[in-house]
């Protein structure tokens, strides 16, 4: 059964069957990554462009690696976010790239909705690699993959997303995906970093990190994005770390074996203490490996649709 949509713009409205299919397919590719020769010929002859209008290291490398493991030809295009005053418009950039006959476009952009905009102006399959503070669907998928790998299921689990929910593209993709898969989702962070209408999505809001630890099976801890003006939203890093940071004492105090995810890069000593970041509960590096497998699954499923 193929995917129901030829683009992956976000996890909003992606049916359960599609998520299931991607996660199941990723298991196969995860196995490929453990082989001595980590390459399959699946997307031979397909061309994928990684269109990155915003700085990204791990997501870009992860996609690039996934493309190479599938034997696709990949091109990287990096540019600072376009605007009319700075030169070529996004529409012109896209048309130029399309004229080079690409099959798939992986796009990262600081403006929400850009992947959707690209679907209106070009024919390639579009994969959202993060658009502003909107969605980052492959991150949501790899988080779900990692949770499922650990617990064997997603349904019925309690997952809390911790941190700057309002300025995170990871949060929304996690909320959509996890809820579709039957998890109970809550968010925890300073109230200035919780979007005003988030509860309308069927998400509980917790302001006390200890409570969040006690009540959940999984904490998906977001990076405090210091570059995104986040500093205007809380008094100090010290205060954030003290009231929302996760450290060993806090985990011990709550006496709970809890799974900790983090999309990286970590601000050590802010949202996670170094001990926790390297400790028993986390699977942060596993997430990175799983990310390649999940992106291979997405590229494969979209690339072989037509």
Partner 1 sequence: MKIILKDVKIVHPQQEEIKEKTNLLIVDGVISKIGKLEKEDNKDARVFELDGKVVTPGFFDMHVHLREPGREDEETVKTGSNSAANGGFTGIACMPNTEPAIDSAQVIELIKKEAAGHLVDVYPIAAATVGRHGELLSPMAELYESGAVGFSDDGVAVKTAGMLKRAFEYSSMYNLPVIEHCEDESLAGGAMNESINSTLLGLSPIPSVAEDIIVMRDILIAEYVKGKIHIAHISTKNAVDMVREAKKKGIKITAEVTPHHFTLTDDAVKTYDTNVKMNPPLRTRADVDAVITGLKDGTIDCIVSDHAPHSPEEKETEFEFAPNGIIGLETEIGLSLSELYHKKILTFEMIVEKFAVNPRKILNIPIPKIEAGQKANLTILDLDEVWTVDIDKFKSKSSNSPFDKKLLTGKALGVINNGKMFFNDEFIDI
Beta bridge partners of 210: none
DSSP annotation of 63 reads H
Q: Which is nearer to partner 1, 46 or 108 (CB)?
A: 108
Q: Which is nearer to partner 1, 169 or 295 (CB)?
A: 169
Q: Which is nearer to partner 1, 117 or 145 (CB)?
A: 117
Separation of alpha carbons 132 and 71, rounded Å: 30
Q: Which is nearer to partner 1, 200 or 257 (CB)?
A: 200
CB of 169 to partner 1, least distance (A): 7
Please answer whether residues 142 and 199 qualify as being in contact, where contact means their C-beta atoms are separated by less than 8 angstroms.
no
CB of 132 to partner 1, least distance (A): 5
Separation of alpha carbons 306 and 296, rounded Å: 17
- Binding residues for partner 1, rule: CB under 8 A, are 12, 81-84, 89-91, 109-114, 116-117, 121, 131-135, 169, 172, 195-198, 200-201
Among left, alpha and beta (phi > 0; psi -120 to 50; other), residue 183 is beta
Q: Which is nearer to partner 1, 65 or 112 (CB)?
A: 112
CB of 122 to partner 1, least distance (A): 13
Separation of alpha carbons 291 and 285, rounded Å: 10
Separation of alpha carbons 57 and 131, rounded Å: 15
CB of 116 to partner 1, least distance (A): 5
CB of 300 to partner 1, least distance (A): 27
């Amino acid at each position: 059964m193929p995917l129901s949509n030829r683009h992956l713009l976000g996890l909003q409205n992606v049916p359960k069957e599609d998520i299931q299919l991607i996660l199941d397919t990723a298991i196969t590719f995860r196995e490929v990554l453990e082989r001595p020769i980590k390459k399959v010929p699946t997307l031979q002859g397909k061309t994928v462009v990684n269109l990155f209008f915003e700085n990204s290291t791990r997501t870009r490398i992860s996609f690039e690696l996934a493309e190479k493991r599938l034997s696709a030809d990949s091109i990287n295009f990096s540019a600072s976010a376009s605007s009319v005053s700075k030169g070529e418009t996004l529409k012109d950039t896209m048309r130029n790239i399309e004229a080079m006959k690409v099959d798939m476009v992986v796009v990262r952009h600081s403006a929400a909705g850009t992947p959707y905009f690209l679907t209106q102006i070009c024919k390639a399959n579009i994969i959202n690699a993060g658009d502003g503070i909107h969605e980052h669907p492959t991150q949501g998928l790899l988080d779900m993959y990692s949770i499922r790998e650990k617990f064997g299921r997603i349904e019925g689990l309690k997952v809390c997303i911790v941190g700057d929910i309002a300025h995170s593209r990871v949060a929304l993709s996690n909320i959509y995906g996890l809820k579709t898969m039957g998890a109970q989702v809550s968010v925890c962070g300073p109230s200035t970093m919780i979007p005003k209408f988030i509860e309308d999505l069927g998400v509980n809001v917790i302001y006390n990190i200890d409570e969040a630890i006690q009540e959940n099976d999984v904490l998906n801890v977001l990076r405090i994005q210091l570059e995104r003006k986040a500093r205007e939203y809380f008094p100090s890093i010290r205060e954030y770390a003290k009231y929302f940071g996760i450290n060993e004492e806090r985990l011990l105090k709550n006496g709970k074996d809890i799974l900790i995810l983090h999309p990286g890069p970590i601000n050590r000593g802010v949202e996670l203490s170094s001990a926790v970041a390297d400790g028993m509960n986390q699977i942060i590096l596993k997430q990175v490996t799983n990310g390649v497998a999940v992106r291979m699954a997405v590229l494969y499923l979209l690339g072989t649709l037509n």
